[in-house]
């Protein structure tokens, strides 16, 4: 189960709720099965990696409307009182069939299926598309990075660029599922038991008189776990300076 906080049933497109209201109004209570799949590959792509299942199941397990949710929907003026009363006792009673996370799958293969009374299946549609779609996208891209790295270690630094805290956490988890070795995101490390790692920032290097001094000071603090950032001034010289400091550390260890 995901350790992220639940977003609640209002994380949906408006039309999911208006369609549900119409189903309710006209007593459309049939069972339905919704299948989530990808129709086509992006250019130069030929597989996908499933991710997001844990978050999706976590949401569905407690998919209920709070009093505040009902009050907000009432204020929109779009929903009748009897439908709002129905939502007060709403919960997801359907079943889910899904591929385990990290499964390789292909176009037109259902990665996630919901079977439930039509209103329930309709209301959860947006949540499932968003949750499975985004994390599968990230895991698929990450798996290609792992393949290209050809055995080299990969660490995600998504929290510095990804839009929003929730997305950064999902990226860290999805990348780890696909084969990344660690994340820079400390919260993701705590929540998902992902190894954490990182280097330093350019401002750290510029806080010292020169690059070698910055590396030496960092190595004294972390003699067994130092990773140097080498491109503050010049990447080639930075690599040489990092090597010099690493050799100094080795010499000290052997004496």
Q: Residue with structure tokens 């299948």?
A: 35
Identify the band that residue 255 occupies on the pLDDT scale cut at 50, 70 and 90. low
Q: In this structure, are residues 54 and 177 in contact, taking their beta carbons and an 8 Å threshold?
A: no
Q: Which residues contact 40 (CB under 8 A, 6 or more apart)?
A: 107
Coil, strand or helix at 4: coil
Q: How far apart are CA 64 and CA 149, in angstroms?
A: 44
Q: What is the mean pLDDT of the chain?
A: 94
Coil, strand or helix at 110: coil
Q: How far apart are CA 18 and CA 2, in angstroms?
A: 29
Q: How far apart are CA 16 and CA 126, in angstroms?
A: 8
The H-or-E segment that residue 221 falls in is: helix 211-221
0.85 exceeded by pTM: yes
Write down the pLDDT at residue 1. Answer: 38
Please give the backbone phi and psi of residue 253, each rounded to the nearest 5 degrees, phi first: -70, -30
Which CATH number does the domain 14-134 belong to among 3.40.50.300, 1.10.3720.10, 3.20.20.150, 3.20.140.10?
3.20.140.10
pLDDT tens profile 187-242: 999 999 999 999 899 999 999 999 999 999 999 999 888 899 999 999 999 999 99
Domain-by-domain residue ranges, the chain? 14-134, 153-197, 202-254
Q: How far apart are CA 51 and CA 30, in angstroms?
A: 30
């Amino acid at each position: 189960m995901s350790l992220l906080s639940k977003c609640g049933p209002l994380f949906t497109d408006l039309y999911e709720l208006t369609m549900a209201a119409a189903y309710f109004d006209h007593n459309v209570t049939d069972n339905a099965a919704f299948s989530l799949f990808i129709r086509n590959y992006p250019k130069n792509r030929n597989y996908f990696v499933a991710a997001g299942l844990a978050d999706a199941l976590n949401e569905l397990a407690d998919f209920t409307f709070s009093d505040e949710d009902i009050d907000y929907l009432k204020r929109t003026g779009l929903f009748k009182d009897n439908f709002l009363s129905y939502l007060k006792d709403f919960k997801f009673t359907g079943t889910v069939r899904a591929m385990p996370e990290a499964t390789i799958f292909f176009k037109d293969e259902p990665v996630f299926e919901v079977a439930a009374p039509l209103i329930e299946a309709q209301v959860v549609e947006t949540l499932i598309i968003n949750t499975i779609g985004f994390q599968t996208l990230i895991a698929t891209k990450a798996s290609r990075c792992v393949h290209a790295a050809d055995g080299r270690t990969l660490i995600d630094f998504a929290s510095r660029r990804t839009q929003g805290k929730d997305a950064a956490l999902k990226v860290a988890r999805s990348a780890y599922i696909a084969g990344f070795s660690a994340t820079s995101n400390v919260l993701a490390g705590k929540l998902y038991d992902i190894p954490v790692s990182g280097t330093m920032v350019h401002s750290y290097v510029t806080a010292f008189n020169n690059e070698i001094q910055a590396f030496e000071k960092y190595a004294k603090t972390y003699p067994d776990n130092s990773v140097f950032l080498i491109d503050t001034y010049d990447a080639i010289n930075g690599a040489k300076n990092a090597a010099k400091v690493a050799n100094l550390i080795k010499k000290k260890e052997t004496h």
